[in-house]
Amino acid sequence: MIFPGPFISRNFSKRHPFFCSVLKYGNFSMILLLALLVFIPKMVYPRSALSDDELTPEKSYNSQRLNWVTGAHIAGFTGSMLLLNEAWYKDHPRSSFHFHDDLFDWKQMDKGGHILSGYHFSRFSHYSFRWAGLNNRQSALLGSISGNIFLATIEVLDGFSESWGASWSDMAANLAGSASFYFQQIYWQEQKITWKYSFSNSGLEQYRPDLLGSNLAENMLKDYNGITYWLSFNMHSLLGKPENLPPWLNISAGYSANGMLGSISNPATHYGEPLPHFERYRSFYLAPDIDYSRIRVNSEILQSIFTTLNFIKFPAPTLEYNRLHGVRFHWVFF
Residue 11 has pLDDT above 60, yes or no: no
Mean pLDDT (the chain) is: 83
CA atoms within 13 A on the CB side of 208: 22
119 lies in some domain: yes
How far apart CA 107 and CA 260 sit, in angstroms, is 9
Would you say residue 7 lies in a domain? no
Q: Predicted confidence band at 25 (pLDDT cuts at 50, 70, 90)?
A: low
Is residue 143 within 8 A of residue 181, CB to CB? The reply is yes
Gyration radius from the chain CA atoms:
21
In a domain, residue 3? The reply is: no
How far, in Å, CA of 21 to CA of 6, rounded?
Answer: 21
Contact 204, 231 (CB under 8 A): no
How many separate domains does the chain show? 1
Phi then psi for 64, rounded to 5 degrees?
A: -65, -40
Buried b (16+ CB within 10 A) or exposed e, 290-301: bbbbbbeeeeee
Q: Which helix (H) or strand (E) holds 171?
A: helix 168-187
* Strand arrangement, sheet containing 193-199: 193-199, 227-234, 249-258, 281-290, 316-322, 326-333
Nearest to 238 by CA among 272, 297, 190: 190
CA distance 245 to 243: 6
Is 279 among the domain residues? Answer: yes
pLDDT of residue 21: 54
Residue 195 belongs to domain spanning: 18-333
For 111-169, how does the pLDDT look when each residue is reduced to its tens digit (9 = 90+)? 999 999 999 999 989 998 998 889 999 999 999 999 888 888 888 888 888 878 899 99
Query: Looking at the domain assignment, is residue 240 inside a domain?
Result: yes
pLDDT at 242 over 90: yes
Q: Treating both helix axes as pointing N-terminal to C-terminal, what angle do 136-159 and 109-131 enclose, rounded to 10 degrees?
A: 140
* Residue 10, in any domain of the structure: no
Question: What pLDDT is attached to residue 185?
Answer: 96
More confident residue, 59 or 136: 136
Give the number of residues written for the chain.
334
Nearest alpha carbon to residue 260 among 287, 284, 227: 227
The verdict on residue 12 lying in a domain is: no
